[in-house]
Structure 1
Amino acid sequence: MWLQRLGSWDQRCFVALFSRSERKRIHQFSFWCSKTGDGPLYLLLVALFFALELSHASAFTELLLLSFAIELPLYLLLKNSIRRQRPYQLMAGMMQAHIEASDKFSLPSGHTAAAFVVASTLLCFYPEWAWLAFSWAGLIGLSRILLGVHFPLDILAGSSLGVSSCLVAQQILH
């Protein structure tokens, strides 16, 4: 019974947020924000750290890679085990996503998980950037809802997976 209520709450929250994405500027911002969560930008971040000769660039990269090595298999296992339909699949006829999803299932959000891996890793080495990194990661999660490809609980699960993966990786390395 509580699971049904949680699912109902999740859908109501999704509808409340998604209904605001019909404004063109919000849609465009969400699209570009979500794009910053695509994988190639993470490689650019690492390259930038080395190019700027930032202290801890090697340790940052090591923790980031191990965190992703933990996060990615867990993400795939969860996504393909839970097999939660995406909002536009569950609410077919009532709404249409603003983008095409990168895979079939919804929970957890991979974009959000990856963004929180990066934010958590940044926190470990560059705490002065943490507020910016976690704000950016949160915006990626919100953008995935506004684009119609994730429910709020997918975002919560993705953020938890990203942070947890970094914490486990940090324990392994220390």
Structure 2
Amino acid sequence: MIFLNHILSWDQTIFRYINQQLKCSSLDRTMPYFTHFGGARFSILICILLLWLQSGSFTNIARDTIIALAGSHILVQLIKNFFNRPRPFLVLPEAFVKESLILKDYSFPSGHTTASVSIATVFSLYFPIFAPLFFILAAVVGISRIYLGLHYPTDVFIGAVLGFVSALIVFFI
């Protein structure tokens, strides 16, 4: 129990730093755009684009991306409904959250981060030279979720692990 309290305390401290101490007008403008790279619309658009490009290795990329996203999304929803963790802006009165982004589901784990890391991992396995770019973009999605007051760092971390492992399983099986 002491270990869990320590993690939760660390979680809130890191959250407050990213959500409040890093706050500036340029991030206020850009983070809402970056956060959408992990959203359903973007993920589905990527899958549709890959299906449309289906030829050669794009057939395998499309298949692996769709399966990794679907599998990880199912896991995220099961975990969210099991843990029922309220979003930070509901618990921490000082949390900054943009009204247009307020969500009603649970916080743990971050589905946007899971999706972006899942896609980044699949793409990195097929195009390793671009792996740093893919993972930087996925990391920015995760950080944006914290910056915008929607997730704690542990939500993002576990979401990243789920996305990464899901993609690896799909790729290597």
TM-score over 0.5 for the pair: yes
Q: C-alpha displacement at 1:46, in angstroms? A: 4.0
Q: Which residue of 1 aligns with 2:127?
A: 126
> Residues 33-62 of structure 1: CA distance to partner in whole angstroms, max 9, x if unpaired?
112222222343345456667741100011
Q: Which residue of 2 aligns with 1:97?
A: 97
Is 2:172 the partner of 1:171?
yes
What aligned pairs does 1:126-165 form with structure 2 within 5 A after superposition? 126-165=127-166
**Higher deviation after alignment, 38-47 or 145-154:** 38-47
Q: Which residue of 1 aligns with 2:23?
A: 22
Q: Write the distance in 2 (CA, Å) between the matches of 1:171 and 1:52.
A: 22
Q: Write the distance in 2 (CA, Å) between the matches of 1:43 and 1:86.
A: 25
Aligned length: 171
| Unpaired segments ≥5 residues, structure 1 | none
**Higher deviation after alignment, 47-56 or 125-134:** 47-56
**Is this contact kept in 1: 2:88–2:151, CA < 8 A?**
yes
Q: Write the distance in 1 (CA, Å) between the matches of 2:103 and 2:85.
A: 14
**Is this contact kept in 2: 1:46–1:57, CA < 8 A?**
no
What aligned pairs does 1:62-77 form with structure 2 within 5 A after superposition? 62-77=63-78
| Unpaired segments ≥5 residues, structure 2 | none
Q: Which residue of 2 aligns with 1:58?
A: 59
Q: Write the distance in 1 (CA, Å) between the matches of 2:55 and 2:26.
A: 35
Q: Write the distance in 2 (CA, Å) between the matches of 1:11 and 1:120.
A: 28
Q: Which residue of 2 aligns with 1:112?
A: 113
Aligned to 1:32, the other structure's residue is in SS state helix
Q: Which residue of 1 aligns with 2:41?
A: 40
Aligned to 1:22, the other structure's residue is in SS state coil
Q: For 1:145, give the aligned amino acid.
A: I
Q: Which residue of 1 aligns with 2:5?
A: 4
Q: C-alpha displacement at 1:145, in angstroms? A: 0.5
| TM-score relative to the length of structure 1 | 0.89
Q: Write the distance in 1 (CA, Å) between the matches of 2:103 and 2:170.
A: 26
Q: Write the distance in 1 (CA, Å) between the matches of 2:82 and 2:44.
A: 29
Aligned to 2:39, the other structure's residue is in SS state coil
